[in-house]
Amino acid sequence: MPKCTINGKEVEVKEGTSIIEAMQQSGDRIAHYCWHPGLSVAGVCRLCMVEIEGNPRVQIACNTMVTEGMKINNTSEKVRDAVKWGLDFHLINHPLDCPICDQAGECGLQDQYMEYGKYDPEMAEHKQKKHKVVDLGPTVVLDSERCILCSRCVRFTEEVSKTNELGLFNRGDRTEIGTHDGMPLDNKYSLNTVDICPVGALTSKDFRFRQRVWYLKDAETICNGCSTGCNVKVYYNKEGFFRVKPVYNEKVNGYWMCDEGRDIYKFVNREHRLLKAQVRNASGWTEMTAGAAAKNASEVLKNTSGDSLALVLTAQYTVEEFDAIVSTFVNEFKTKKVFFWINNKETFDSFDGLLLRGDKNPNTKGLLKVLEKHGITATWADLSQGIASGSIKTVVVAGPENQVVFPDFAERVKELSKAHNLIWLQAGKNDALMALAGNVWLIPTKTFVEKDGTFINQAGLEQKFKKVTTVVSEALTLTEAALLLAGKNLAIPTTAQPFMPTNQRADQVELEARKKNEFVFRRGSL
Amino acid sequence: MAEVKILTEFYHLPEYQTLAGYKAKGGYETLPKALKMQPQQIIDEVKASGLRGRGGAGFPTGMKWGFLPKNGEPRYLLCNADEGEPGTFKDRMMMERAPHQLIEGMIISAFAIGSNKGYIYVRGEYVYPIECLYKAIKEAYAAGLLGKNILGSGFDFDLDVYRGAGAYICGEETGMISSLEGLKGQPKLKPPFPAVQGYLRKPTIVNNVETLAAVTYIIKDGAQTYRKHGTEKSAGTKLFSVSGNVMKPGNYEVPLGYPLMDLIMKECGGMKPGRRLKAIIPGGSSAPVLTAEEVAKANLDYESLAGLGTMLGSGAVIVMDDSQCMVDMLGVLTHFYAHESCGQCTPCREGTGWLDKILHSILEGRGRLQDIDLLIKVADNMKGKTICALSDAAALPVLSFVTKFRDEFEFYVREGRSKVKGTTYAEMHH
């Protein structure tokens, strides 16, 4: 464990630690673009300059290992001057149009300018013109003139996705990032290149120009796109959710997440949600609040307990919710007819070797644990048989939040709708459900960003997450729904929005319907 | 003192290109002797000879070989025949006139370092030298001098020629390794050094054509004989490729320590009639320029030139007479480096382009007086800040030209034309 001195403080680090890592450990700020802890060292931006006692020249911190007794400094005039010039070299051909750049507000170059660059520019020559709005593939756009050639994206495709689509082309200040001929940037992890781009050169087609980042709030949660359970940050404001980015977790996802997972913000937004409960009987559909619909359904359940009642669960809810609803069915309704709806049996166990798993549910392990705890052994065949024979008369379904990953949705609706009463708890709108005849209750539920809870990922790791905000105020959690279905009351103050939770954060924002700016949206879609 | 022909003694003989012609003059007589020696003995002999790399850096060859790990891991010998520095053309002559001399030197060197595979990395434009090498390698294989069990010694060595695509930076050893690996020719971070982790991440020694050819002579006549030439710290002879405004430009082999003025005035026949020596770049275009006064004090060895703030480099001596406009000359050099920067490290990628733009603003009559100091500031901040030395190679000429011939730059900015030629850039070049 070598000890070194960084800016006068003694720091002890692990053998093989680079100076830049040691500085991060000690909390000292250091300029850098090309270094990324999840990638190999390139040493090309030349910004992480430090002075090492006894060495006449400044050194890069990313490729210099700490040795015993090393005295390191990055606050001296010599280093500041080197970094200032390093910044100048970066800026001479970089456009200075931050107000219209998609990365404005979260750009490394802007941060560096504020730290080192507040001086009069000396560049009087014309900038080197590079390509603008280069369509790299289905997900990413390159504005080459902004690129500072840190090569993070190239290294990502070489080292992480191992797809090698990107390369550095040409030489000198004509160098540009690009895709190899006939090979678009089209892999399952392509949007990580946008995350690691320190400037606004690589932009996500999905997010590009849709929001200024300073109008967004963010919060950490767990991705519910598959059973890996990547740690993510969601970005949102009053208009809705806009993007998802990975958060480092060494045990789960490292620095990365897949492109599929980045879509999970979409089904959360109001335009895809079931905003009010819909109840159908012989006279047609009636709109109700979620709580009122659950209370209404409880009247049916009161008379339908035991083996004539079944519960179908998708593995998209929290451990706490599963526990609450299964307990209710076992203890209150005296039925163990609880069924696990597996969405894609053929590909359920597949894994791409990096993060993506065939099990597109965040909490399969959590559901199985709860079912085991309650001694549930029922199989789907029992359900099919029960519905077909008429022994199962009422079915309660906790349908998927993320319907896209349930290719058999319409088929299952058809099968389950044969029951006399169908009570369907679901976050999103669905045409197949709205087309049903008979006795149907459609009750809106909350999504993963609207509640606290726990997911257990494929490796058995329990990950707790906190509520981010509320999108559909009156939507219920399964826990709340279970109480109401059992005929109990919720201790929630009745206001204009009767099911508003009481545990709102001080900085809670209420989502409003998006006010579309068509011009901005057209730009965003290229 | 005059030319001493150790390497180039038979270069005037056309048959020296062939195996038979080379053998007729004692070629491949050293190889059996070397193969009977212990590899360490050869390394010790090379160390004792004081041979320093003839590619430009001047690093002691034996010491470089000594950095190889001792674990017997497979290792490679790469011959650097990229020769991309403006003004340099000595290796070309050696490959054309005496390819077997290089091959023999490579076999001996490979035996010493324990390598069974070697490549000669040649710049792609060198079509004729490549043909000469191909022919010679074919002859050597046919004669059992390459391949399995060379001369019954039990030592195997395979040799190939690799044609580069013509990038200056592929002459830098790690850039060359990248190129040989099929990647873009970009230098790699050091450490790890190639001797520890080089081609295909295996230990690799990269030596220049002239260095490897000299090994044969060191083993043939012994280190002490070799050391009789040159100075104590700069042993042996060296090939100098002289270009520019002299009567007889060409390659000259002289002992290290030879006076630079003698090389110009005696070997190269002096300046063109009616012209005065103005300046010399002594070691390839990346070396700082010397004024005529400094040239008079300069000897062609590593220490003497370092003492004058410049370097021996690859031995490419570029001579300028009093008709040369230094602003125009620097414009040419700077444009070359801006074109050849691999684009990897920011100070080099952006700095070389910036220098080129500033100089061309001056040359095209758009310069500002502050641009002269800006040239110095930009160059100063490129120096020593990048993975390889291309950034320094671009910066050093700028610093030396602007410092030593500032009056020409100031005149150009003020008048919009050359002080020396009296014409504008457009008039000079069209």
pLDDT tens-digit map of A231-277: 999 999 988 999 999 999 999 999 999 999 999 999 999 999 999 99
Q: A406, A48, A196: which is closest to B189 by C-alpha? A: A48
Q: What is the mean pLDDT of residues A456-465?
A: 97
Structure letter (DSSP) for residue B240: E
- A90 and B350 in contact by Cβ < 8 A? yes
Residue A322: both structure tokens together: 């599963």
Residue A5: both structure tokens together: 């001195």
The shortest CB-CB distance from B357 to any of A125, A149, A151 is to A125
Q: What is the pLDDT of residue A522?
A: 43
- B387 and A44 in contact by Cβ < 8 A? yes
Q: Which pLDDT band holds residue A504 (cuts at 50, 70, 90)?
A: low
Q: What is the pLDDT of residue A472?
A: 93
Cβ of A220: how many Cβ atoms within 10 Å?
13
Q: Could you read off the pLDDT of A373-394 as tens digits, one per residue?
A: 999 999 999 999 999 999 999 9
Residue B336: both structure tokens together: 């070359």
Q: Is B368 on the interface with A (CB under 8 A)?
A: yes
What is the DSSP code string of B169-202?
Answer: GGGSHHHHHHHHTTS-S----SSSPTTTS-GGGS
The shortest CB-CB distance from A86 to any of B189, B346, B368 is to B346
Q: A516, A513, A450, A506: which is closest to A478 by C-alpha? A: A450
Task: Identify the helix (H) or strand (E) that includes residue B420.
Answer: none
Cβ of A54: how many Cβ atoms within 10 Å?
7
Q: Judge contact between A177 and A156, C-beta under 8 A.
A: no
Q: Which pLDDT band holds residue A512 (cuts at 50, 70, 90)?
A: low
The shortest CB-CB distance from B385 to any of A41, A46, A170 is to A46
Question: Could you give the CA distance from residue B73 to residue B59 in angstroms, rounded to a whole number?
Answer: 24
Percent pLDDT > 70 in chain A is: 93
- B346 and A149 in contact by Cβ < 8 A? yes
Residue B201: both structure tokens together: 């991440």
Q: Could you read off the pLDDT of B115-156 as tens digits, one per residue?
A: 999 999 999 999 999 999 999 999 999 999 999 999 999 999
Packed helices B99-113 and B127-142: angle between N→C axes, nearest 10 degrees: 60
Q: Which pLDDT band holds residue A498 (cuts at 50, 70, 90)?
A: very low
pLDDT of B157 > 50? The answer is yes
Q: B207, B220, B190, B180: which is closest to B64 by C-alpha? A: B207
The shortest CB-CB distance from A128 to any of B340, B353, B381 is to B353
Q: Judge contact between A427 and A343, C-beta under 8 A.
A: no
Question: Could you give the CA distance from residue B222 to residue B313 in angstroms, rounded to a whole number?
Answer: 26
Read off φ and ψ for residue A202, nearest 5 degrees: -100, 125
Mark which residues 227-246 of B lie under 8 Å from A by CB.
Answer: none
B chain contacts of residue A63, beta-carbon cutoff 8 Å? 189, 191
Q: Is B385 on the interface with A (CB under 8 A)?
A: yes
Least CA distance to A60: which residue of chain B? Answer: B385
Q: What is the pLDDT of residue A518?
A: 43
Q: What is the mean pLDDT of residues B271-293?
A: 94
Q: What is the pLDDT of residue A508?
A: 58
- A122 and B353 in contact by Cβ < 8 A? no
Q: Is B384 on the interface with A (CB under 8 A)?
A: yes
Using CA atoms, how far residue A365 sits from A222, A335, A407, A456, in Å, is 15, 22, 21, 6
Q: Judge contact between A414 and A407, C-beta under 8 A.
A: no
Interface A:B, Cβ pairs < 8 A:
97
What is the DSSP code string of A188-223?
Answer: TTTTHHHHH-SSSSEEETTTTTT--GGG-EEEEEE-
Question: Could you give the CA distance from residue B120 to residue B159 in angstroms, rounded to a whole number?
Answer: 8
B chain contacts of residue A88, beta-carbon cutoff 8 Å? 381
The shortest CB-CB distance from B349 to any of A82, A122, A173 is to A173
Q: What is the pLDDT of residue A115?
A: 79
The shortest CB-CB distance from B341 to any of A42, A88, A172 is to A172
Q: CA A479, A481, A487, A489 torsion: positive or negative?
A: positive
Q: Which of B179, B350, B385 to mutate to test the interface with A (most CBs of A within 10 A)?
A: B350
- B347 and A85 in contact by Cβ < 8 A? yes
Question: Could you give the CA distance from residue B178 to residue A95 in angstroms, rounded to a whole number?
Answer: 32
Residues 6+ apart with CB under 8 A from B328: B363, B418, B421, B425, B428
A chain contacts of residue B338, beta-carbon cutoff 8 Å? 172-173
Percent pLDDT > 70 in chain B is: 100
Strands A9-12 and A3-6: antiparallel
Q: Is B217 on the interface with A (CB under 8 A)?
A: no
Residue type at A466 in one-letter notation: K
- The side-by-side arrangement of strands in the sheet containing A59-60 is A9-12, A3-6, A71-73, A49-52, A59-60
Question: Could you give the CA distance from residue A60 to residue A45 in angstroms, rounded to a whole number?
Answer: 9
- A171 and B339 in contact by Cβ < 8 A? yes
Least CA distance to B353: which residue of chain A? Answer: A173
Q: Which of A46, A152, A159, A176 to mutate to test the interface with B (most CBs of B within 10 A)?
A: A46
By the 10 Å C-beta count (0-12 exposed, 13-18 middle, 19+ buried), B181 is classed as middle
Q: Is B343 on the interface with A (CB under 8 A)?
A: yes
Half-sphere exposure of B243 (CA within 13 A, CB side): 14
SS3 A8: coil
Q: What is the mean pLDDT of residues A143-169?
A: 96
Least CA distance to B347: which residue of chain A? Answer: A89
Q: What is the pLDDT of residue B120?
A: 97
A chain contacts of residue B167, beta-carbon cutoff 8 Å? 171
What is the DSSP code string of A348-397?
Answer: TT-B-SSS-BS---S-HHHHHHHHHHTT----HHHHHHHHHHT---EEEE
- B343 and A57 in contact by Cβ < 8 A? no
The shortest CB-CB distance from A93 to any of B186, B189, B350 is to B350
Q: What is the pLDDT of residue B230?
A: 82
Q: Is B184 on the interface with A (CB under 8 A)?
A: yes
Q: Return mean pLDDT, chain B.
A: 94
- B387 and A89 in contact by Cβ < 8 A? no
Question: Could you give the CA distance from residue B216 to residue B222 in angstroms, rounded to a whole number?
Answer: 10
Q: Which pLDDT band holds residue A513 (cuts at 50, 70, 90)?
A: low
pLDDT of A517 > 50? The answer is no
SS3 B415: helix
Measured CA angle at B405 (ends B332, B363), to 5 deg: 40
Our CA-based measurement puts residue A214 at a distance from the nearest CA of chain B, in whole angstroms, of 30
Q: What is the mean pLDDT of residues A450-466?
A: 97
Q: Does the interface ipTM go beyond 0.85?
A: yes
A chain contacts of residue B349, beta-carbon cutoff 8 Å? 89, 149, 172-173, 175
Using CA atoms, how far residue B346 sits from A172, A438, A460, B264, B378, in Å, is 9, 69, 45, 39, 12
Mark which residues 391-430 of B lie under 8 Å from A by CB.
Answer: none
How many residues are recorded in chain B?
A: 430
SS3 B157: strand
Q: Which pLDDT band holds residue B311 (cuts at 50, 70, 90)?
A: very high
- A125 and B354 in contact by Cβ < 8 A? yes
A chain contacts of residue B347, beta-carbon cutoff 8 Å? 46, 85-86, 89
User: Which residue do the tokens 């990922």 mark?
Assistant: A457
- A41 and B189 in contact by Cβ < 8 A? yes
Interface of A with B (CB under 8 A): 41-47, 49, 57-58, 63, 82, 85-86, 88-90, 92-93, 122-126, 128, 148-149, 151, 167-168, 170-175
Q: What is the mean pLDDT of residues B337-360?
A: 96
Q: What is the mean pLDDT of residues B78-106?
A: 95
Q: Which of A173, A174, A177, A199 to mutate to test the interface with B (most CBs of B within 10 A)?
A: A173
Packed helices B209-221 and B39-49: angle between N→C axes, nearest 10 degrees: 100
Question: Could you give the CA distance from residue A246 to residue A227 in angstroms, rounded to a whole number?
Answer: 15
Q: A355, A408, A405: which is closest to A380 by C-alpha? A: A408
- A173 and B343 in contact by Cβ < 8 A? yes
SS3 B325: coil
The shortest CB-CB distance from A172 to any of B184, B343, B377 is to B343
Q: Is B350 on the interface with A (CB under 8 A)?
A: yes
Least CA distance to A175: which residue of chain B? Answer: B343
- A149 and B343 in contact by Cβ < 8 A? yes
Cβ of B22: how many Cβ atoms within 10 Å?
24
B chain contacts of residue A128, beta-carbon cutoff 8 Å? 353
By the 10 Å C-beta count (0-12 exposed, 13-18 middle, 19+ buried), B362 is classed as buried
Question: Could you give the CA distance from residue A451 to residue A324 in angstroms, rounded to a whole number?
Answer: 14
Cβ of A317: how many Cβ atoms within 10 Å?
32
Our CA-based measurement puts residue A162 at a distance from the nearest CA of chain B, in whole angstroms, of 16
Question: Could you give the CA distance from residue B90 to residue A96 in angstroms, rounded to a whole number?
Answer: 47
- B189 and A63 in contact by Cβ < 8 A? yes
- B352 and A172 in contact by Cβ < 8 A? yes
How many residues are recorded in chain A?
A: 526
Q: What is the pLDDT of residue A196?
A: 97
Residues 6+ apart with CB under 8 A from B276: B292, B321, B322
Q: Return mean pLDDT, chain A.
A: 91
**Omega cis (within 30) before B192:** yes
The shortest CB-CB distance from B184 to any of A90, A125, A168 is to A168
